[in-house]
């Protein structure tokens, strides 16, 4: 199936991770955490450049994949989860917190915001369409998750 959609579908499903039969979005977030584990030692600058490139290509690939799949924001498209999860992990570069608890907190916080879609996350999902629409709600969910991670570990440091 991924072969039939070409490069955009391969990229938007994160090399087929989105084809996982149970909770493909959660699988996409888990892959993002694993990739972060390998790349985080390269620093914040690298992370932000990778994040911006992935977002940009993700908008294109998601839009093309929606057209190929014939469905808006198809659940198999998980590049948006990767971007949102990487946003949620940005506080790692600013906090003196243990790596594994921070990543677990970021993972859980992002999944909660992505699934529950409170206020601004739902607004972003409804406001934008095409590839940008696929990506926008996860960017907002990632931002809220990053704020949550920062708050949790700030509170932990003062207790």
Q: Residue 137 falls within a domain, yes or no?
A: yes
Q: Residue 134 falls within a domain, yes or no?
A: yes
pLDDT by residue (tens digit) across 51-102? 999 999 999 999 999 999 999 999 999 999 999 999 999 999 999 889 999 9
What is the rounded CA–CA span in Å between residue 37 and residue 139? Answer: 20
Give me the number of domains the chain comprises.
1
User: Looking at residue 4, what is its pLDDT?
Assistant: 63
Handedness of CA 55, 57, 60, 61 (dihedral sign): negative
Give 158's pLDDT tier (boundaries 50, 70, 90): confident
Q: Residue 129 falls within a domain, yes or no?
A: yes
Q: Residue 17 falls within a domain, yes or no?
A: no
Q: Residue 47 falls within a domain, yes or no?
A: yes
Residue 38 CA: distances (Å) to CA of 22, 31, 41: 25, 11, 7
Contact 130, 115 (CB under 8 A): no
Q: Residue 40 falls within a domain, yes or no?
A: yes
Q: Residue 15 falls within a domain, yes or no?
A: no
- pLDDT score of 1 more than 70: no
User: Looking at residue 3, what is its pLDDT?
Assistant: 54
């Amino acid at each position: 199936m991924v072969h039939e959609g070409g490069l955009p579908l391969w990229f938007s499903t994160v090399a087929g991770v989105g084809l996982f039969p149970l909770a493909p979005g959660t699988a996409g977030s888990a892959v993002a955490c694993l990739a972060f584990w390998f790349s985080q030692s390269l620093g914040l600058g690298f992370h932000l450049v990778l994040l911006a490139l992935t977002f940009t290509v993700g908008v294109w690939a998601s839009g093309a994949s929606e057209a190929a799949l014939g469905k808006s924001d198809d659940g198999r498209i998980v590049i948006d989860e990767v971007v949102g999860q990487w946003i949620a992990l940005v506080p790692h570069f600013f906090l003196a917190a243990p790596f594994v608890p921070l990543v677990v907190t970021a993972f859980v916080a992002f999944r909660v915001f992505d699934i529950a879609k409170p206020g601004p996350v739902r607004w972003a999902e409804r406001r934008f369409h095409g590839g940008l629409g696929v990506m926008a709600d996860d960017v907002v969910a990632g931002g809220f998750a990053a704020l949550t991670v920062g708050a949790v570990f700030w509170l932990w440091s003062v207790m």
